[in-house]
Structure 1
Amino acid sequence: RTLPTRAPWVLQGPGENAGVISVGDGLAVAFKIESHNHPSAVEPYQGAATGVGGILRDVFTMGARPIAVLDSLRFGSLDSARVRYLFAGVVKGVGDYGNCVGIPTVGGEVVFDPAYEGNPLVNAMCVGLLHEHELMRAVAEGVGNPIMAVGARTGRDGIHGATFASEDLSAGSEAKRPRVQVGDPFTEKLLLEASLELIRSGHIVAIQDMGAAGLTSSSAEMAARGDVGVTIDTAKVPVRETGMTPYEILLSESQERMLVVAKKGHEDEVRKILTKWELEAAVIGEVIAEPVYRVTEGDRVVAEFPGSRLVTDCPTYTPPAEESAAVREARARDVSSIPERAEERDPVWTLEELLSSPTIASKRWVYRQYDTTVRTNTVVGPGGDAAVVRLRGTKKALALKVDCNGRYVALDPRLGARIAVAESARNVACTGARPRAITNNLNFGNPKRPEVYFQLREAIAGIGEACTALETPVTGGNVSLYNESPQSAVHPTPVIGMVGVLDDVDRAVRSHFRDEGADIVLLGEPTPELGASEYLARIHGVVAGAPPACDLEAARRLVDTLVAAAEKGALSSAHDISEGGLAVSLAECCIMDRDRMIGATVDLSGWSLLPLRALLFGEGQNRVIVSTRDTQTLKRIAERNRVPLRVIGTVGVAGSPLSIRVGTRLIVTSMERLATAWHDAIPRIMSRSAATIAVESTETLTTPVN
């Protein structure tokens, strides 16, 4: 209620299966992010796979054909064998499901932090394309219209999955594996095609995924949106197990199922479409005028009450909120006084240590398991600042990004959430696209604890402030609470899914250096901020200090500069400065494309009065490294937008070193050393045995469920 949700381009805001924005030319984009955290903690393969399946259904129920998936994943330290098992299983689950359905996984983020040791976070985002006139809403209407269950049959898998997701993880959570749903991507593909055909056929008035709480929530939500009642006869629901009770049928979370409100008299046409796709459709109830939720088993009424109790009249409360004293103390710590380690006398050692940090290191080990180019619309895939996906038949493209730094949010929830929005917008703008809207996934601990509710309240406020400043309305999202284990709660992690629009796909900008001899330009100013940095966590084992300041007006001006410069063709590359700071981002620009690594000569002497480690590894916000052959045009645009700009060097040639001068100090290192640290870090850690363990549960996914 407190977030900005409206803009001329927003066609559907919060409250539906997915948000929808117009992208021009009569086209629209539906998108949503959701979590499958607890299921993935106890059954990583199926938990992640069904998370992808669920978010696909949320998007195609809007009438949109899914064109891209992104994932935001968080785990504990890869030094732990269990974490390696969870990591391998989740990645394989995401990849197998998306690959089988034929939707490219085009981007994402993977973070490793001890805060997620006992409770990994698995968030999946889907983006779909539709014509504006094809938009379908899940609003039950038309008294007497039949309610139909379509798709897979109902089983006992996933019962109480929603309540399991609302409990702290404990030593007994492993026993709740039966509550994890089992996915069948082949049925999902058939259901996708059947649903889109149904929507375009004119035979239905509404459609909704049977997600959390299954038939109960889907039917109640559709009725509430239409201000009508429903009757459901559980005896008519197609089941795949004998002896299922009405309770089990209502709460089953079996996958690949939809609830449809058909037009009265069109039931046979609906069945014909489902039969064509080798799926079932059964009438299980109807829309009624009386505002009640009535469940029967044949002639026996098993439940009846006002439908509003399940949706609009749910109890609300405001728990006490108070910031943790330990967090205040950690944020106030003067981290500039932390003594350097002896090894830091050589900045190359520090740079290589940061590049090999699994959070910063190349995620190619992850995305090589995904089909990133199926459907042949992927222009910029995983590994860059944001993914770029072509809208076939037009000159347009979408830029897509998921982002959050949980450490920032843990130390300052409002500021950290602002940064999450601003950085995701900056990443999208680095491709040349204009950020247009967000979806968000709020991953927090137990809100009954005052310090957690404080984090949640402040983070939402920060998201609202940033979205207002950047004109990126919130179109929907997901809230995942009780992400705690016996050890601790996770870092508060409000993941932002940002969608941007690029008017000319041929102007899409890449992240890495590509143009030998081009000027290297820093947009934005270095600052002496080291608080909450990856440098402190990786090199010193310290999580403290204030996160870097984030001027939202400066963030907006930087976005405007990047978009305008891309439109003028003035950018050869653009890469955001984030975890690891300026030195890490420079190195990434050089080594991102391992097949053609290009060095650089950089001079940072203009800031030689700053502490060297803050200059090289501080994470001050609103900064981007660009390379250009048209420095004068870039300068004019930056000056117009009041964005600081300085030429700091020149792109080298293939195989040349990275050379950074700071006053009298010269730091030089080879491409091969940097590439070994960055590209090989995760493959070096992940043993074959960990990946093999993750395959144990794949048989249920690759064998269709009858």
Structure 2
Amino acid sequence: MTLDTTKHAAETPDVELPWAELGLKEDEYLRVREVLGRRPTGAELAMYSVMWSEHCSYKSSKVHLRQFGEKAPASDALLVGIGENAGVVDIGQGYAVTFKVESHNHPSYVEPYQGAATGVGGIVRDIIAMGARPVAVVDPLRMGAADHPDTKRVLPGVVAGIGGYGNCLGLPNIGGELVFDACYQGNPLVNAGAIGVMRHEDIHLAKASGTGNKVILYGARTGGDGIGGASILASETFDDAKPSKRPAVQVGDPFQEKLLIECTLEAFAEKLVVGIQDLGAAGLSCATSELASNGSGGMRVELDDVPLRDSTLSPEEILMSESQERMCAVVEPAKVERFLAICEKWDVIATVIGEVTDGDRLEIFWHGEKIVDVDPRTVAHDGPVYERPYARPAWQDALQADDAGKLPRPATSDELREQVLKLVASPNQASKAWVTDQYDRIVQGNTVLAQPEDSGMVRVSEDTGLGVAIATDGNGRFAKLDPYAGAQLALAESYRNVAAAGAKPLAVSDCLNFGSPEDPAVMWQFAEAVRGLADGCQQLGTPVTGGNVSLYNQTGDAAIHPTPVVAVLGVIDDVNRRTPIAFATEGQLVYLLGETREEFGGSAWSQVIHDHLGGLPPKVDLERERLLAEILVSGSRDGMIDAAHDLSDGGLVQALTESCLRGGKGARIVLPEGVSESGTVVGDAFVALFSESAGRAVVAVPRSEELRFTDMCGARGLPAARIGVVDGDALEVQGQFSIPLTELRQAHEATIPALLA
């Protein structure tokens, strides 16, 4: 006889349940009761609490994120958009690429190694769930002050976790960033991205369809690690006085995940899977409710059949556990035996835990009792939607009025030289080799560009050379000054970085990192950033395919800078025509593309030399960005450019430094004089070297291609100024200073190792 706990719940409405301890607000708990028409069972409460958390339900951000759909540009390349585990784009020749960026911020502060490692594991499973083979990962990171003692705890652990997990999976880490700022103290941002490749016909979706089809849980056993981990941990402001908000961080096993990848891909190849969902945040609660709600029927699950690492787990804990390396597949009955055989071959535990029903309910049983009876859509999709109040903060005008143009500038050539060295040695501009050397960047043999290049690039087809490039960028300082422009500058920089490598930008994923949505100032920052990104993507023709929102990134009242991280994916017909950043051949002509203005608000120079944040960020001209990208891609394709590097943090002098050091060749630079198109004088050496005007790049052009290249720029209306030549063993700015590459390299490469020694 089956006992019905849900019926008992209806008969005992006054039983007290720990809804507050599980992260629900009182009105949310009352809404759960309204949806069910009774009080929830303990298991149902567990499911609603994790699925209605900020991390899983996007309850504070949905009303703004709709713009990505409403303003989405027409795109022939988009195959799967927002709403699935990851977006999918067509890159030609029958190939499709899926990519996504997500956050694992709070878990990585609590336990840096496992927090970062399981962030990589989670994003990789999203890629697998779409039917793709993962081919690369990226890791945009934001840490607290470089010299803060806690940074020495968090950063090495995070880097070791990313490297340890990704290296064991055999996935090259081809891109990312590392930014230090005191605003991230106590709230580091550990964003992780992944790329996967498949044929068009191999795309899989998260849905449970077909009455009688079996639901199979496979992968690692379910344990007590990460119960409510990411789902609750990322949905509340950090507060050391609230240990209840610090659940155990998930523990990863990359070798188990590698087996899971191969097992899943073999099942896909044999057409055994009807629908599939990875188990990440909210664990089995998420997988069952999303599969059922996206399908055409209901689902019945026997929780007793879930393989456990800990036999003492309660059903609520099993439903909330975020143990890693697990997936759920929906398989036709006739194919179950073969599916299980493939799992056994790969030493992957697999168990039938339920089946698709002809109803519209998600029913879960435990020890013969029905403990869950819900409409799965109310769990997975119909959570609360908040139109949080937002308002431009009172301090915004004063911040923007505090113009960086007032800051003292170098008065002599010696001071200019000194500030160049100080800039390139500063933690944010210094070499990140200490980090990237811990990652395997060339495993699988298809990496053609990786850090410190402008974007990472991998070969997709050996026969044709077809490849994809990805860049991730974001500048929290710019977004603090103007979140609308800051989001567009992040998009523009990522777009520019992909084009600089020779790839055509196609699509966008994002990871939007902000403080508490309950603060109207933070919510205004979020709303403006989303509006800016949606408008920018519409103008550039690059649809947002998916992404992640990470809120509550603050301790007490101190929020991080608004940090929208934007990933742009691009395609290149032949990776042999890629463009590196390195000045590698003496005699190459150095050209500066774009206009330079006096723009120092939020700049690296203002931060490094004066510890100042104020004014307005650089102006955004997305049509100029589009034109610049077209020139860079065409120049790469037609052999007119040997090297290209975008200008962003640190301006021209930072780009020149990195290109010289990357290729081991010096450059003699004669700074342009005169007036730009807009009438702004650009002859001043300081402005030319340190300005962070957007829409610019520096390129190395073979002498034989100079006329063809300048004719192309002139015909298209892109300013192109010849500023020097690749030559010698120093970076020389004529009439100002000369810095030997040995001295430049020492300044650039010694900082991070010294800080973390």
Q: Given the two structures, how large is their TM-score scaled by the length of structure 2?
A: 0.88
* C-alpha spacing 1:5/1:92, structure 2 compared with 1 (3 Å): farther
- 1:268 is aligned with what amino acid? E
Q: Distance in 1 between matches of 2:264 and 2:522?
A: 40
Q: Secondary structure at the match of 1:605?
A: coil
Q: Secondary structure at the match of 2:174?
A: strand
Ranges in structure 1 where 5+ consecutive residues have no aligned partner: 688-706
Q: CA deviation at 1:207?
A: 1.1
1:2 is aligned, of 67, 70, 73, to 67
The question of 1:642 aligning with 2:717 is answered yes
The question of 1:651 aligning with 2:726 is answered yes
1:449 is aligned, of 499, 519, 522, to 519
Who is 1:563 aligned against? Answer: 633
Q: CA deviation at 1:156?
A: 0.7
Who is 2:310 aligned against? Answer: 241
Aligned-residue identity in percent:
42
Indicate if the aligned counterparts of 2:672 and 2:721 stay in contact, CA closer than 8 A. Answer: no
1:40 is aligned, of 97, 105, 108, to 108
Who is 1:185 aligned against? Answer: 254
Q: Distance in 2 between matches of 1:119 and 1:171?
A: 12
Q: CA deviation at 1:591?
A: 1.3
The question of 1:628 aligning with 2:701 is answered yes
- 2:573 is aligned with what amino acid? D
Q: Which stretch of the first structure deviates more once superposed, 328-337 or 234-243?
A: 328-337
Who is 1:684 aligned against? Answer: 754
Q: How does 1:273-422 map to 2 (within 5 A)?
A: 273-340=342-409, 346-393=415-462, 394-422=464-492
Indicate if the aligned counterparts of 2:160 and 2:438 stay in contact, CA closer than 8 A. Answer: yes
* C-alpha spacing 1:365/1:175, structure 2 compared with 1 (3 Å): farther
Q: CA deviation at 1:175?
A: 7.5
* C-alpha spacing 1:176/1:524, structure 2 compared with 1 (3 Å): same
Q: Distance in 2 between matches of 1:180 and 1:502?
A: 39
Q: How does 1:58-77 map to 2 (within 5 A)?
A: 58-77=126-145
Q: Distance in 1 between matches of 2:656 and 2:334?
A: 64
Q: CA deviation at 1:666?
A: 2.1
Who is 1:660 aligned against? Answer: 733
Q: Which stretch of the first structure deviates more once superposed, 66-75 or 488-497?
A: 488-497
* C-alpha spacing 1:273/1:173, structure 2 compared with 1 (3 Å): farther
Q: CA deviation at 1:614?
A: 2.8
Who is 1:461 aligned against? Answer: 531
2:323 is aligned, of 227, 245, 254, to 254
Q: Distance in 1 between matches of 2:328 and 2:580?
A: 42
Indicate if the aligned counterparts of 1:74 and 1:110 stay in contact, CA closer than 8 A. Answer: yes
Who is 1:613 aligned against? Answer: 686
Once the two structures are superposed, residues 17-51 of structure 1 have per-residue CA deviations (whole angstroms, 9 ceiling, x without a partner) of 11111111111111111110000011000000000
The question of 1:496 aligning with 2:561 is answered no
Who is 1:691 aligned against? Answer: none
Q: CA deviation at 1:269?
A: 1.4
* C-alpha spacing 1:377/1:174, structure 2 compared with 1 (3 Å): farther
Q: Secondary structure at the match of 1:91?
A: helix
Q: Secondary structure at the match of 1:265?
A: helix
1:581 is aligned, of 644, 648, 651, to 651
Q: Distance in 2 between matches of 1:84 and 1:72?
A: 18
Q: Distance in 1 between matches of 2:616 and 2:242?
A: 35
Q: Distance in 1 between matches of 2:726 and 2:262?
A: 48
Q: CA deviation at 1:177?
A: 5.9
Q: Secondary structure at the match of 1:29?
A: strand
Who is 1:704 aligned against? Answer: none
Q: CA deviation at 1:601?
A: 3.1
Q: CA deviation at 1:612?
A: 4.2
Indicate if the aligned counterparts of 1:534 and 1:580 stay in contact, CA closer than 8 A. Answer: yes
1:24 is aligned, of 92, 98, 101, to 92
Q: CA deviation at 1:341?
A: 6.9
Q: CA deviation at 1:426?
A: 0.4
- 1:645 is aligned with what amino acid? A
Ranges in structure 2 where 5+ consecutive residues have no aligned partner: 1-65, 676-680
Q: Which stretch of the first structure deviates more once superposed, 433-442 or 218-227?
A: 218-227
- 1:19 is aligned with what amino acid? G
Q: CA deviation at 1:338?
A: 2.0
* C-alpha spacing 1:440/1:163, structure 2 compared with 1 (3 Å): same
The question of 1:98 aligning with 2:166 is answered yes
Q: Given the two structures, how large is their TM-score scaled by the length of structure 1?
A: 0.94
* C-alpha spacing 1:487/1:592, structure 2 compared with 1 (3 Å): farther
Q: Secondary structure at the match of 2:648?
A: coil
* C-alpha spacing 1:342/1:80, structure 2 compared with 1 (3 Å): farther
- 2:176 is aligned with what amino acid? G
Q: How does 1:476-491 map to 2 (within 5 A)?
A: 476-486=546-556, 488-491=558-561
Q: Distance in 2 between matches of 1:80 and 1:334?
A: 28
Q: CA deviation at 1:552?
A: 0.8
Once the two structures are superposed, residues 115-144 of structure 1 have per-residue CA deviations (whole angstroms, 9 ceiling, x without a partner) of 111100000100011111111111110011
The question of 1:49 aligning with 2:117 is answered yes
- 1:641 is aligned with what amino acid? R
Q: CA deviation at 1:261?
A: 0.7
Q: Which stretch of the first structure deviates more once superposed, 5-14 or 316-325?
A: 5-14
- 2:386 is aligned with what amino acid? Y
Indicate if the aligned counterparts of 1:525 and 1:644 stay in contact, CA closer than 8 A. Answer: yes
Who is 2:9 aligned against? Answer: none
Q: Distance in 2 between matches of 1:341 and 1:518?
A: 30
- 2:583 is aligned with what amino acid? F
Who is 1:703 aligned against? Answer: none
Who is 1:524 aligned against? Answer: 594
- 2:690 is aligned with what amino acid? F
- 1:2 is aligned with what amino acid? Q
Q: Secondary structure at the match of 2:618?
A: coil
- 2:756 is aligned with what amino acid? M
Once the two structures are superposed, residues 363-400 of structure 1 have per-residue CA deviations (whole angstroms, 9 ceiling, x without a partner) of 11001001110001111111011111111323211111
- 1:149 is aligned with what amino acid? L
* C-alpha spacing 1:410/1:244, structure 2 compared with 1 (3 Å): same
Q: How does 1:144-159 map to 2 (within 5 A)?
A: 144-159=212-227
Q: Distance in 1 between matches of 2:248 and 2:714?
A: 57
Q: Which stretch of the first structure deviates more once superposed, 501-510 or 610-619?
A: 610-619
Q: CA deviation at 1:85?
A: 1.4
Once the two structures are superposed, residues 218-243 of structure 1 have per-residue CA deviations (whole angstroms, 9 ceiling, x without a partner) of 11111121142212221111111012
* C-alpha spacing 1:603/1:610, structure 2 compared with 1 (3 Å): closer
Q: CA deviation at 1:448?
A: 1.3
- 1:287 is aligned with what amino acid? V
Who is 1:118 aligned against? Answer: 186
Q: Distance in 2 between matches of 1:685 and 1:599?
A: 30
Who is 2:37 aligned against? Answer: none
Indicate if the aligned counterparts of 1:164 and 1:179 stay in contact, CA closer than 8 A. Answer: no
Once the two structures are superposed, residues 33-81 of structure 1 have per-residue CA deviations (whole angstroms, 9 ceiling, x without a partner) of 1110000011000000000000111001111111100000000112112
Once the two structures are superposed, residues 439-488 of structure 1 have per-residue CA deviations (whole angstroms, 9 ceiling, x without a partner) of 11111111111111111111111111211122111111111111111361
* C-alpha spacing 1:177/1:344, structure 2 compared with 1 (3 Å): farther
Q: Secondary structure at the match of 2:640?
A: coil
Indicate if the aligned counterparts of 1:5 and 1:474 stay in contact, CA closer than 8 A. Answer: no
* C-alpha spacing 1:22/1:5, structure 2 compared with 1 (3 Å): same
Q: Secondary structure at the match of 2:568?
A: strand
Indicate if the aligned counterparts of 1:76 and 1:120 stay in contact, CA closer than 8 A. Answer: yes
Once the two structures are superposed, residues 272-303 of structure 1 have per-residue CA deviations (whole angstroms, 9 ceiling, x without a partner) of 01000001111111112222222210320112
Q: CA deviation at 1:203?
A: 2.0
